[in-house]
C-alpha cells in the first residue's frame, strides 16, 4: 500500500477465535504495544497495524516469521504527519472497537489523533495508551526501559542473589507482563464496558504500574512479616536451597521448587537424602547454607539428563533448565504443540487455550504495498 492510501477492514471479522469480530487499530510501536496486539490477533481480533514510512524498527521491511510480535495481522504504511494519513486512521477508528498507541504523552494529540477527537468520532472506542511511566506524574515525559520501570516499582530490588547486585530478568516483567499483557486485559475490560454502557474510555497502561501489580504476592508476604526486604534471603528469591537452580556434572542446570513438605520429601527420596538429619531441617534458615552446599555437591555428581531421567514421573517439583533451542523439542512441549513454526522460524504458540473457540494458527504479518 502506498503511504497515505486508505486502508480498510477486511469484513471477515478477523477469523476464528474467542475475539473474532473485534476490530483494533494498532499505532506501531515496539515491545509491549505489539505484544498486546499480537495477543488480540492470536485470538481472532482483526488488528490493523499503522506503520510510519521508513521506520527501521517496524514492519516496513518484511521480516516474515522472524518477528513474532508482528504475527497474524496486516500492516499499512501511513504518514501520520500528512493530513491524508491522519484522516485514514480516523476513518478506521470510527469503525473500531479499540485503538492501541505507545507514544509518549501528548504525541498523539499533536498528530491530531488524540482520544478526545477519536472518542467524539466513535463514542464506543476504547483508546489504549501504552507508556512506561503513565500519562501523569513527574516521570511521565521521560524516556525509560523495562529495567527502569521495575527499578522504580520496587521489583528490581528483589531480583538477584544475596550479596549481589540487582539482576534484571531480561525485559519480561515491565514490558510484557506489566505492559503488553496488562494492556490486553485493559482493552478487553474496556470493550466489555463499552458494549454494556455504550461509552468508550481511555486506558492508561503504565509499565511501572503493571510491574508493581505483578509483585502483589511479594507485597502480601511483606505485610505478613514473611518477607525480608533484601535480595536472596527469602523463600522464592534463591534464599531457600530447595527453590533454586543447580549446576550438573555436564555444566548444565536443573531447577527445583520443592516448597511443600510432601514435595520436599519426594525430592529427598530421589536424592538419597531422606535420612539425612541436615535435610530434616527444611525450614531452619540456619541450616540453609550447609544444605545448599550439600545440594550443590549432589547435583554436580550427575549430568542434567541423568537427573531428568531419575526424577521422571516424580512430584518433586523438578525440571531441567532448557535452552531456547531445546525447549521446543521437550516431550511435554511437543505433546501440547507449545511452539509452532512460522515461515520456518520457531516461536511460542498462542496462549491461553480455549475449548470452544481455539486460537488460529499464527501466520507471518503482512505489509500492504
Question: Active-site positions?
Answer: 145, 175
- Burial of 313 from C-beta contacts in 10 A (0-12 / 13-18 / 19+): exposed
Answer yes or no: are the C-beta atoms of 41 and 18 closer than 8 Å: no
- Burial of 166 from C-beta contacts in 10 A (0-12 / 13-18 / 19+): middle
DSSP SS3 for 94: helix
CA 40 from chain centre, in angstroms, equals 13
End-to-end alpha-carbon separation of the chain, Å? 3
Q: Residue 27: beta bridge partners?
A: 50
Dist. CA 182–CA 176, nearest whole Å? 8
Cis peptide before 127 (omega within 30 of 0): no
Q: What are the backbone dihedrals phi and psi of residue 204, each rounded to the nearest 5 degrees, phi first? A: -90, 95
- Burial of 19 from C-beta contacts in 10 A (0-12 / 13-18 / 19+): buried
CA 199 from chain centre, in angstroms, equals 29
Dist. CA 353–CA 174, nearest whole Å? 24
Of the candidates 49, 42, 60, 27, the residue with the CA atom closest to the CA atom of residue 131? 27
3-class secondary structure for 178-202?
Answer: HHHHHHHHHHHHHHHHHHHHCCCEE
∠ CA(114), CA(117), CA(119), 5° rounding? 100
Amino acid at each position: 500500500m502506498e503511504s497515505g492510501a486508505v486502508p480498510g477492514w477486511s469484513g471477515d471479522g478477523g477469523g476464528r477465535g474467542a475475539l473474532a469480530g473485534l476490530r483494533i487499530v494498532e499505532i506501531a510501536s515496539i515491545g509491549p504495544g505489539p505484544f498486546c496486539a499480537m495477543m488480540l490477533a492470536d485470538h481472532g481480533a482483526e488488528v490493523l497495524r499503522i506503520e510510519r514510512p521508513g521506520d527501521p524498527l517496524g514492519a516496513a521491511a518484511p521480516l516474515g516469521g522472524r518477528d513474532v510480535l508482528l504475527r497474524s495481522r496486516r500492516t499499512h504504511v501511513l504518514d501520520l504527519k500528512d493530513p491524508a494519513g491522519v484522516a485514514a486512521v480516523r476513518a478506521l477508528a470510527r469503525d473500531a472497537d479499540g485503538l492501541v498507541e505507545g507514544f509518549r504523552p501528548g504525541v498523539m494529540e499533536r498528530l491530531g489523533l488524540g482520544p478526545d477527537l477519536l472518542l467524539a468520532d466513535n463514542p464506543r472506542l476504547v483508546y489504549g495508551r501504552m507508556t512506561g511511566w503513565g500519562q501523569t506524574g513527574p516521570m511521565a515525559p521521560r524516556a525509560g526501559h523495562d529495567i527502569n520501570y521495575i527499578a522504580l516499582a520496587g521489583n528490581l530490588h528483589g531480583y538477584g542473589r544475596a550479596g549481589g547486585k540487582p539482576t534484571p530478568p531480561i525485559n519480561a516483567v515491565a514490558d510484557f507482563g506489566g505492559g503488553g499483557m496488562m494492556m490486553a486485559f485493559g482493552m478487553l475490560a474496556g470493550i466489555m464496558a463499552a458494549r454494556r454502557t455504550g461509552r468508550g474510555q481511555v486506558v492508561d497502561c503504565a509499565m511501572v504500574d503493571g510491574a508493581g501489580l505483578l509483585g502483589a504476592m511479594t507485597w502480601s508476604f511483606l505485610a505478613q512479616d514473611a518477607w525480608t526486604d533484601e535480595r536472596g534471603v527469602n523463600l522464592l528469591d534463591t534464599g531457600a536451597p530447595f527453590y533454586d537452580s543447580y549446576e550438573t556434572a555436564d555444566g548444565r542446570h536443573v531447577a527445583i521448587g520443592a516448597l511443600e513438605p510432601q514435595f520436599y520429601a519426594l525430592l529427598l527420596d530421589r536424592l538419597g537424602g531422606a535420612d539425612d538429619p541436615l535435610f530434616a531441617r527444611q525450614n531452619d534458615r540456619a541450616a540453609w547454607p550447609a544444605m545448599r552446599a550439600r545440594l550443590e555437591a549432589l547435583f554436580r555428581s550427575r549430568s542434567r539428563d541423568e537427573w531428568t531421567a531419575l526424577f521422571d514421573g516424580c512430584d518433586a517439583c523438578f525440571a531441567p533448565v532448557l535452552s531456547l533451542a531445546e525447549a521446543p523439542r521437550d516431550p511435554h512441549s511437543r505433546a501440547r504443540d507449545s511452539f509452532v513454526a512460522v515461515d520456518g522460524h520457531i516461536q511460542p504458540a498462542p496462549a491461553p487455550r480455549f475449548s470452544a473457540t481455539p486460537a488460529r494458527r499464527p501466520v507471518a504479518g503482512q505489509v500492504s504495498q
